[in-house]
Structure 1
Amino acid sequence: MEANAEHLRTLAAVVDHGSFERAAEALRITPSAVSQRIKALEQRTGRVLVLRTKPAAVTEPGQVLLRLARQVALLEDEALARLGADATGSIRAIPLVVNADSLATWVLNALAGVDGVTFELFLDDQDHSTARLRDGTVVGAVTSDPVAVQGCIVRPLGSMTYRAVASPGFVSRWLPSGPTREALAVAPVIVFDRKDALQDRYLAVRGIVAHPPRHQVPASSEFVTAASLGLGWAMIPDQQSAALIAEGRLVDIDPGRWIDVPLFWQHWAVESDSLSRVTDALVRQAARSLDLSPTAPARARPRRSRQLRR
């Protein structure tokens, strides 16, 4: 199937802006023209590519063409930049998905060193971020999934080490005899959002099947603040907890146990200068910020990436 670049650009605009009308405004054409271009793509593929919902949603076949549309746009922009033919002087943002803890601790330091590029950052749990690669929303992802999405390349970055921590006051009230099964079954816990299973995995390894009360705090810095204020205990990476533990504002409630979360960088397998520079910057910063203990090759690693170490 030969896909018209103009039609691909229109598909991406519909997905980005959520409707045919807003896509038309962005492309400076009529809604009718947008509809005709999408219909032309659908007739060529014989598939429904866009669900006419509010907001508009791409179907699974549409995801394939959406990824192609993003790749074409990225390479087109780079080609124009090399030729000095970008009359507007604008820079297309590179969309990436990152887990909140990485964004709060090391990723921004990496991206700040990449010149001539702007970024559109999406937040998602590291166990779920590759879904955005599959549907064409982003060109790269910091993820815990070592299995390459089709058409992508995987590079290991290192690991973030998470420990169960709480404020001294919380420990005195809820865990006076330590993290016993009975105490952890009822002690309030803090989770990032409903996708955050790290605290439950820790409980499961400890043999606790209870569902203790939980606070949901969907922001990395505020998540740490909530723990230091005594709302509950939580699994927090060393990059955020070490200084607070040293200051006595947080306590490692279960010394000798921790959870390692190996992280990987997945990105489209395209010859892109800007994407290569982003990759190099992330790998360099990860080498400075993450635990670089030996890891198995990405494709050989088990899918369950979080392991409790004793």
Structure 2
Amino acid sequence: MNPIHLATLLAVLDEGSFEGAADALSLTPSAVSQRIKALESQAGRVLIRRTNPTTATAAGEVLAQAARRMALLQAETDAQLRGRIARVPLSVAINADSLATWFTPVFADVAAWDSATLQLRVEDEAHSLKLLRRGDCLGAVTREHAPVSGCTVSTLGIMRYRAVASPRLRDAYTVNGRLDWAAMPALRYGPNDKIQDSDLTGRVDHPPRHRRISQIPSSEGFVEAVRSGLGWGLVPEIQSAKCLDSGELVLLDERVSIVPLYWQHWRLESPLLQKLTDAVVAAAKESLEPV
């Protein structure tokens, strides 16, 4: 495969359009289109869905992953042979709760590597493998321990989630000493928030079809929304501990939702990828409970 054509494929997928790729590559949209057509002709199949934004077909995902591996190795080689700083993009899919808590020490580690840049994609841990399969990232924090084809898995630890709310909200929806789970407003991080989607399982026999639910697409904002009484939610223990100690939040029951986390990354002989893996595993070991 022509490396230039593969790089163009990545640009179209990353920018979401042929026009965006043309701007990023300083080309005309026609030139980008010709490169993609040439690549598709060589592959013998359609690689990109001409949607808005553009997406990769199954065959396109295979080539995109290969292209990103080549780009990483090329950048590392440039840095080693030419003795200059090269942009080595370390693209990682991670869930918002991990990013807001245990993952932050990784920033300091990457900052010490002159040749690296870190690109994070925030995604629910149950969906991050989609990015890995498509080749959109080289590593992912995920709930899935079964390795994606071509990837290696490392165990990180577990996150424990508890149902919490403000004292005012709890009291407002307590009737005769029992919580009215079905009526109490709840919170979601986003449409792929599988942890919160199961919040009523085992708490209400027949969950209502229509509930008062607010969506807060930020881990820190989610905790603040719970603290402010906008709704109740399942919050990681390591994130809610201080508010529970101060009385700003209260536990709604004794149930604990346990989410095991794993680090999946490409099976690639890359010193920089190995350093990133070591940094992620070390950060998890400092804050997470072992599986």
Name which of 264, 267, 270 aligns with 1:269.
267
Q: Distance in 1 between matches of 2:83 and 2:38?
A: 29
Map of 2:48 onto structure 1: 50
1:25 Cα deviation after fit: 3.0
1:85 Cα deviation after fit: 5.8
1:198 Cα deviation after fit: 2.0
Letter in structure 2 aligned against 1:210? P
Map of 2:241 onto structure 1: 242
1:107 Cα deviation after fit: 1.1
Map of 1:92 onto structure 2: 88
Q: Which runs of 5+ in 2 are unaligned?
A: none
Map of 2:221 onto structure 1: 222
Deviates more, 1:34-43 or 1:202-211: 202-211
Q: Distance in 2 between matches of 1:66 and 1:224?
A: 36
Map of 2:250 onto structure 1: 251
SS in structure 2 of the partner of residue 279 of structure 1: helix
Q: Distance in 1 between matches of 2:75 and 2:91?
A: 14
When the two structures are superposed, what TM-score results if normalisation uses the length of structure 2? 0.93
Q: Distance in 2 between matches of 1:200 and 1:56?
A: 29
Deviations 1:180-223 (A, max 9, x none): 4xx11211111111221323423112343313321111111110
Q: Distance in 2 between matches of 1:279 and 1:110?
A: 10
1:73 Cα deviation after fit: 0.3
Map of 2:12 onto structure 1: 14
Deviations 1:144-185 (A, max 9, x none): 1111111111111000000000111111111255554xx112
SS in structure 1 of the partner of residue 200 of structure 2: helix
Deviations 1:89-144 (A, max 9, x none): 44132211110000001212223212232111111111111000111111111111
Name which of 93, 100, 107 aligns with 1:104.
100
Q: What pairs up with 1:1-310 in 2 under 5 angstroms? A: 3-84=1-82, 86=84, 89-114=85-110, 115-116=113-114, 117-175=116-174, 177=176, 180=179, 183-211=180-208, 212-255=211-254, 257-292=255-290, 295=291
Question: 2:181–2:204: 8 Å Cα contact kept in structure 1?
Answer: no
Q: Distance in 2 between matches of 1:16 and 1:68?
A: 15
Question: 1:111–1:281: 8 Å Cα contact kept in structure 2?
Answer: no
SS in structure 2 of the partner of residue 96 of structure 1: strand
Q: Across the two proteins, how many residue pairs are aligned to each other?
A: 286
Letter in structure 1 aligned against 2:265? H
When the two structures are superposed, what TM-score results if normalisation uses the length of structure 1? 0.87
Q: Distance in 2 between matches of 1:98 and 1:37?
A: 32
Letter in structure 1 aligned against 2:226? A
1:260 Cα deviation after fit: 0.6
1:33 Cα deviation after fit: 2.7
1:72 Cα deviation after fit: 0.3
Deviates more, 1:119-128 or 1:169-178: 169-178
Q: Distance in 1 between matches of 2:231 and 2:53?
A: 37
Deviations 1:24-59 (A, max 9, x none): 332233333322221111111110011223332221
Q: 1:108 to 1:42 in 2, by over 3 A?
A: same
Q: Which runs of 5+ in 1 are unaligned?
A: 296-310
Deviates more, 1:38-47 or 1:21-30: 21-30
SS in structure 1 of the partner of residue 90 of structure 2: strand
Question: 1:188–1:231: 8 Å Cα contact kept in structure 2?
Answer: yes
SS in structure 2 of the partner of residue 64 of structure 1: helix
Q: 1:91 to 1:184 in 2, by over 3 A?
A: same
Q: Distance in 2 between matches of 1:246 and 1:146?
A: 34
